Amino acid sequence: MTSYRLRWQRKHWRARALRKGRELQAVSDRTSDIGPDDVLLFCTFRNEDVRLPFFFDYYRKLGINHFLMIDNGSADNGPAFAQEQPDVSLWRTDAPYGEARYGVDWLTYLQGRYADGRWALTVDVDEFFVYPFCDTRPIRALADWLDASEVRSFGAMLLDMYPKGPVGQTEYARGDNPFETASWFDPGNYFMTQNKLLKNLWIQGGPRARSFFAAKPKQAPALNKIPFVKWRKPYAYVSSTHMMLPRGLNLVYDQQGGEKTSGILLHAKFLNTFGDRATEEAQRAEHYRNGQEYKTYAERHGTDPDLWCQWSEQYINWRQLEVLGLMSKGNWA
């Protein structure tokens, strides 16, 4: 009965994506270059000119073959820059972000159309995917291994990275590696519960829960993500990349005590661009729960937040994250 209901829900999201897909205008369509074995990246952005160069660099080094990008009404040079890239297909829309389920509808539309039968990585411009052996094995190796192990989806928790000292006082210039300044993270204060309906874990915690949401923990942002999926046409993300339908895809964790292989999305949110952004997005109220998260930041923004504490860890590499227990090699050796 429940699965029947979820099936209709999934079909609803798919239909909605088809409708919302019409809002997208192709700016440069290079999708004919996509090969059958290519690993694709899907991303929506708005006014991210400063971040895009490093973003493309990072993911090219990881072995992404083609970027499918949606520009949601940027006013800066970002779209022009993206359009120049030979491995980027770019769409544009000025339709409201919130009404497209925070961009998920647009992405679902593109994924259904271009990612069927391929591995698709869905991230934001400030999310950087880290997986076991990512320094020695390209993302294609991960995809092939997951294929061989008959695994369809791969989880990667969002890990908020922050600088030492007030966030507003960092300097981030176009092309910089954000983790040279925002190199710190909380190593062991994440908590989770299981979503009985969709089977995903709901993970919260980290510096945002500790500093901004301690008094209202329920509203602390969700950190569970399933960004890497062997896509099939019927699939749909339900809420950002936090959970999916069919719900079997959400079982990226083991319940018998073993560890499944998992990664991390390093979240470069807390840079000097953060303060302005929080104010702007709070006014725009286009984000989840009308941007309540951004409102909370904006309220706090008067006292430029310093998230660093004496137990913060400085990022070294994926092995460090695996030893701390934030991600796992699982069965991959």
Partner 1 sequence: MSLGVIMLVHTAFDRAEQMVRHWAAAACPVVVHVDSNVPDATYDAFMRSVADLADVRFCARHRCEWGTWGLVAASQEAATVLLEDFPDVQHAFLASGACLPLRSIADLIGYLKAQPDTDFIESATTADVPWTVGGLDRERFTLRFPFAWKKHRRLFDWFVKLQQILGYRRNIPEGIRPHMGSQWWCLTRQTLDAILQDPNRDTYDAYFRKVWIPDESYYQTLTRLHTRKVESRSLTLAKFDYQGKPHIFFDDHAELLQRSKSFVARKIWRDADQLYQMFPLPSDPLGAAEEPNSGAVDRVFSQAVERRTLGRAGLYMQSRYPSIDRQTNVAAAPYAVLQGLSDVFPDFQPWLTRQTGAQVHGHLFAKDRAHFADDSDVYRGGLSDNARLRDYNGKMFLTNLIWNGRDEHHCFQFGPADTQDICWTLAKDTNASIWVVSGAWSIPLFSSGRSASDIRAEAARLQRIEDKFLKVLRSPDARARINIMTLAQFIEAPMDVLQTIIDEIAGHRGNALKEVPKMADLTGLPDFLQDLKNQGMHPFLTGDITVGNTQAPKPISRRKPYVISTK
Whole-number minimum distance, CB 219 to partner 1, in Å? Answer: 11
Q: Check binding of 167 to partner 1 (CB under 8 A).
A: no
Identity of the residue, 183 or 328, whose beta carbon is nearer to partner 1 in the bound complex: 328
Question: What's the number of CA atoms in the CB half-sphere (13 Å) around residue 326?
Answer: 29
Q: CA-to-CA distance for 333 and 330, rounded, in angstroms?
A: 8
122 contacts partner 1 (rule: CB under 8 A): no
252 sits near partner 1 (criterion: CB under 8 A):
yes
Q: Which residue's CB is nearer to partner 1, number 40 or number 252?
A: 252
Q: Smaller CB distance to partner 1: residue 144 or 280?
A: 144
231: tokens are: 């896509």
When asked if residue 310 is in the footprint of partner 1 (CB under 8 A), the reply is yes
Collapsing DSSP to helix, strand or coil, 125 comes out as coil
Q: 235 or 253, CB closer to partner 1?
A: 253
Beta carbon of residue 62, minimum distance to partner 1 (angstroms, whole number): 14
When asked if residue 175 is in the footprint of partner 1 (CB under 8 A), the reply is no
List, in order, residues 6 or more apart from 85 with CB less than 8 Å away: 56, 67
- Which token pair is 163? 């600088």
- Map residues 126-165 to x or -, x wherever contact with partner 1 holds by CB under 8 A: -------x--xxx-xx--xx--xxx----xxx--------
**Two structure tokens written together for 194:** 């299981």
Considering only residues 259-278, where is the footprint of partner 1 by CB under 8 A? 259-262
Compare residues 52 and 266 and give the one whose CB is closer to partner 1.
266
x/- string (CB under 8 A) for partner 1, residues 202-231? -x--xx-xx--xxxxxx-----x-------
Tell the residue number behind the tokens 């009985």, with chain if given.
196
The closest alpha carbon to 82, from 95, 65, 97, 69, belongs to 69
Q: How far apart are CA 263 and CA 265, in angstroms?
A: 7
10 Å Cβ neighbour count for 116?
A: 14
CB of residue 246 to partner 1, shortest distance in Å: 17
Report CA Rg, the chain: 19
For partner 1, give the closer residue by CB, 6 or 192: 192
Give the pairing of strands 243-245 and 66-72. unpaired
Please pick, from the candidates 175, 234, 248, 325, the single residue that binds partner 1 as defined by CB under 8 A: 325
Consecutive H or E run containing 154: strand 153-154
- DSSP three-state, residue 324: helix
Q: Under the rule (CB under 8 A), what is the footprint of partner 1?
A: 133, 136-138, 140-141, 144-145, 148-150, 155-157, 186-194, 201, 203, 206-207, 209-210, 213-218, 224, 252-262, 309-312, 325-333
